[in-house]
Amino acid sequence: MGRTVASVAGRPAVGEQALRLFTKLPISGTIAVSIGKNSMSNSPLTTLPQGYRGQPPEQPLQRLGPYQIEGALGQGAAATVYRARRPDGATVALKVLHRAAGADAKVREAFQHEARILLKLNHPGIVRALEAGQMEGYYYMTLALVSGQTVEALLVREKKLGEIPTIDIGVEIAGTLDYLHSQRIVHRDIKPGNILLNERRRALLFDFGAAIDLNIEQPVPGQVYGTPAFLAPEQARGDTAIDGRADIYALGGTLYRMIAGRKPFYGTRGELLEAHLHSTAPRPSQFAYVSPGLESAILKALAKSPNDRHQTGNEFAAALEAARNPGGSPSSNQELPQRLLHWLRNAIVPGE
C-alpha cells in the first residue's frame, strides 16, 4: 500500500509511557488528544470496545508498515494508541486513527493539524512527535514514550501541592511556553491534565489538539477552544485576537488549582465562561497557605486583560522564581505569620 510520511530525523523515543492516550471530541467540536491518569495493560486487545459513531468495532492491529505492535496503551472511539517497535529496536507510542474516523474529513484534518504542529517543535518540555503520515489506509502519528503521570492524576491523590512543587512545575511549563510562543504557536488548553511529570519529575506539555499556529492561521471568530475551567477571557469570548498570553492565563489557573486545592471558578460551561469574563477569582490564600509572592504571581497571570498579565513565559517564570526567593522583604515577612495563622484556622474546619 502507499505511504506518505512526515518525520523529524534524529529524534529517538525515550522511556515508556504507561499512560492512556485517547482521542475525543471536546466542547468546541474539534479533536483533541489527551492522556489519562491510569495505566493500561500492554497485552494485545482482542477487539476494540466501540466503533466510531456507530460503526462496527475494528480489530486491533498487529503490525502497521515497519512498526511491530506489542500491545495497546489505550483506545477511544476514534483512535487507538499502541506500544510499537521500530525496525531499529526503539519503542514508540503509535497513535492510529480508526478507518471510520479517518474517513471523517474534520477528524482527519484535526489529527493532521496537530501532527504538523508537533513535528515543528523540538523542546525538552514538550512530548515529541517523531513521525506522522498515512500508510496501509491508516492515518498515524508516533510519539516519544514517556513514563510518568499527569499533574491531574497527582492532584487526585494529593488534593493540593506545596509551594516548591507548584513553583518548580510552573517555572518549567512557563519556560516551555516561552519557547512555544516564540514559534508563534498558542497551546490553548493548558491545564493539569495536559502536564506530564516524567520519572525525573520534569514537567512536560502535551495534547496540542487545540493548538493554533499563528504563522499560517487565525482563530475562527466565535468558536471556543480549550477547557472551560481554564479559559482566558479572550478565548471565552471567541476573539480572533489570541496570543501566548492566553496560555499565561491558563497556566495561572493551573497553578491556582495546584496550590489552593481548587479551581478559580466552578459552575456550568456557561457560568464558567461568564466568570472568566467578569468575576474576580478568590485569593488562593483563602483555601491554603500561599506566600505573598506566589499569590501575586498567580493572580497577575489571571488578570482579565492580556496587557495586565505576565507578557511572556520567561517573565512569569521570573516572578515564580522571585516567589521562591523573596529576598527577605520586610512587608512580606510581616504578612507571613498572619497568612499562616489564617490558613491554619481554615485547615481545621471540617470539609476544607
Q: Catalogue the active-site residues.
A: 189
Cβ-contact 22, 156 below 8 angstroms: no
Q: Are strands 212-213 and 185-186 parallel, antiparallel or unpaired?
A: antiparallel
SS3 string, the chain, reads: CCEEEEECCCCCCCCCCCCCEEEECCCCCCCEEEECCCCCCCCCCCCCCCCHHHCCCCCCCCEECCEEEEEEEEECCCEEEEEEECCCCCEEEEEEECHHHHCCHHHHHHHHHHHHHHHHCCCCCECCEEEEEEECCEEEEEECCCCEEEHHHHHHHHCCCCHHHHHHHHHHHHHHHHHHHHCCEECCCCCHHHEEEECCCCEEECCCCCCEECCCCCCCCCCCCCCHHHCCHHHHCCCCCCCCHHHHHHHHHHHHHHHHCCCCCCCCHHHHHHHHHHCCCCCHHHCCCCCHHHHHHHHHHCCCCHHHCCCCHHHHHHHHHHHHCCCCCHHHHHHHHHHHHHHHHHHCCCCC
Q: Which amino acid is at 63?
A: R
